[in-house]
Amino acid sequence: MEHLQAMRGLAPKDFKSDTKPVWCPGCGHFSVLAAITKALAELSLPREQVAVVSGIGCSSRIPAYTSVYGFHGVHGRALPTATGLKLARPDMTVLVTGGDGDGFSIGGNHFLHACRRNVDMTYIVMDNQVYGMTKGQASPTTDAEWDGSKLTPDGPCIEPFPPLKIALAAGANFIARGSSSDPNDLARLIVDGVRHPGFSVIQVLSPCVTFRPEQKEWKKKVRTACVDYTDDPARAARRLMTDDGFNFGKVLFKGTRPAFVPECSDVPCAIPELESGFAV
């Protein structure tokens, strides 16, 4: 595959920057980065036509590690930043990267509204069920009993947040799950997501080896989903109801709602024309 890409243009490594990741050795985010660069090569996009936008967190560091345009914004606001960029610059391919804390805790409202608004961009959430960057607190996807954080020494005691169920309920039109244990597969999902017109959500199981060392076992637990996607929300909802969170590698739901594009005249008028409304 890489060979073919090289013939067409840029190879995955051309989408990597020279900046050395701050990540812990073994962190799942390395594979996600690899999958993103692979996907970009596969999509044969010119570097300058791609932007990767993020908030704050270990996972949100990705933009600086790619060689495309990047935006490392503030915590929780990656989706609105990317929304603004895409709406103002529809010619750009926009990826959004981040973590479960950035996306589902502080950024939860934008997640809801991005699913609903359906702007054409691809959201890759590295879910490690923890706030890695701030040294290990419970995130919305953390199990109720996890007692590894000094901030919630008896566990968060709240049921974890089901991101894909919420995405579906909020109207997302492309919902998939990947795993950092299979970057090739993830690259394929990302390619699919980018090609999908509208908002695509890809939840990626990406272990935090430092604060959730038990997640190293995930690679044994995950399994490739056996059925392919449905375009029926009811069926997708049923599947998600019985899902244990470890099926990956397939798109779960794809809808056909058109992407949101703001009203805008093709033949712009001159400002004085508007001003005539004020003249008496």
Partner 1 sequence: MLERFVSLAVAGSGGAGVVTTGNLLLDAAARVGWYAYMTRSAGPQIRGGEAAAMIRLGSAPADAHDDHYDLLVAADWESAGRFAAELPLGATSIVLGDPRAGERPPFLVDAPARMLDLPMTALADEIPGGRANMVALGAIAELIGLPDEPLLAAIRHAIGAKGEAAVEASVASLRAGRSAVPDIPDFPRLEPRPAAPGMRWNISGNEATGLGALRGGVRFVAAYPITPATEVLEWMAHGLPRVGGALVQAEDELASINQIVGASYGGVPSLTATSGPGLALMTESLGLAVAAEVPVVVVNVMRGGPSTGIPTKSEQADLNIACYGLHGDAPHLVLAPHSVADCLMTTQWAVHLAESLQTAAIVLTDQATGQARAVIERPAELAFIGQRVVPESVAGYERYALTVNGVSPMAIPGMAGGEYTADGLEHSPSGTPSSQAADHQAQLDKRLRKIAGYNYGEHWAEIDGDADPDVALLTWGSCTGPCREAMARLRAQGWRVRLVAPRLIAPALPGPMAEALAGAPRLLVVEQSHGAQFLRYLRAHYDLPGEVRSLHQPGPLPVRPGTIVARVTNWS
Ligand X SMILES: Cc1ncc(C[n+]2csc(CCOP(=O)(O)OP(=O)(O)O)c2C)c(N)n1
**Site for a copy of itself, residues 145 to 174, rule: CB under 8 A:** 154, 157-159, 161-162, 165-166, 168-171
| Interaction pattern, residues 57-76, with partner 1; x per rule: CB under 8 A | -x----xx--xxxxxxxxxx
Interface with ligand SF4, residue 65, by CB under 6 A: no
Show contacts with ligand X in window 71-100 (CB under 6 A). 75, 98-100
Q: How many residues sit in the footprint of ligand X (CB under 6 A)? A: 19
Give the residue from 123, 82, 83 showing the smallest Cα distance to 262: 83
Integer distance in angstroms from the first to the last C-alpha of the chain?
A: 67
Q: Which of 102, 120, 182, 192 binds ligand X (CB under 6 A)?
A: 102
H/E stretch holding 70 reads strand 69-72
Interface with partner 1, residue 155, by CB under 8 A: no
- The DSSP call for residue 12 is G
Show contacts with ligand SF4 in window 160-219 (CB under 6 A). 208-211
Q: Which of 133, 138, 176, 252 binds ligand X (CB under 6 A)?
A: 133
Interface with ligand SF4, residue 132, by CB under 6 A: yes
Min separation Cβ 12 and ligand SF4, Å: 21
Q: Residue 208, SS3? A: coil
Interface with partner 1, residue 145, by CB under 8 A: no
Q: Which residues contact 32 (CB under 8 A, 6 or more apart)?
A: 59, 62, 97, 124, 126, 180, 183, 186, 204, 206
Min separation Cβ 44 and a copy of itself, Å: 32
Sign of the torsion angle spanned by Cα atoms 96, 205, 21, 152: positive
Give the residue from 227, 218, 217 showing the smallest Cα distance to 245: 218
Q: Looking at 90-232, list the stretches that DSSP marks H as alpha helix, in order from N- to C-terminal side.
A: 100, 108-117, 163-170, 183-195, 218-221
Min separation Cβ 184 and ligand SF4, Å: 21
- Which of partner 1, a copy of itself, ligand X, none does residue 151 bind to, with CB < 5 to 8 Å depending on kind? partner 1
How many alpha carbons fall within 13 Å on the CB side of residue 258? 3
Show contacts with partner 1 in window 208-267 (CB under 8 A). 210, 262-265
> Is 23 or 253 the residue whose CB approaches a copy of itself more closely?
253
Interface with Mg ion, residue 206, by CB under 5 A: no
Residue identified by tokens 């109720």 is 144
Q: Which of 5, 10, 12, 29 binds ligand SF4 (CB under 6 A)?
A: 29
Q: Which of 52, 68, 95, 100 binds Mg ion (CB under 5 A)?
A: 100
Buried/exposed 160-199: b ≥16 CB within 10 Å, e otherwise: bbbbbebbbebbbbbbbbbbbbbbebbbbbbbbbbebebb
Give the residue from 61, 50, 47, 38 showing the smallest Cα distance to 183: 38
- Interacting residue ranges for ligand X, rule: CB under 6 A: 56-59, 75, 98-102, 126, 128, 130-134, 139, 208
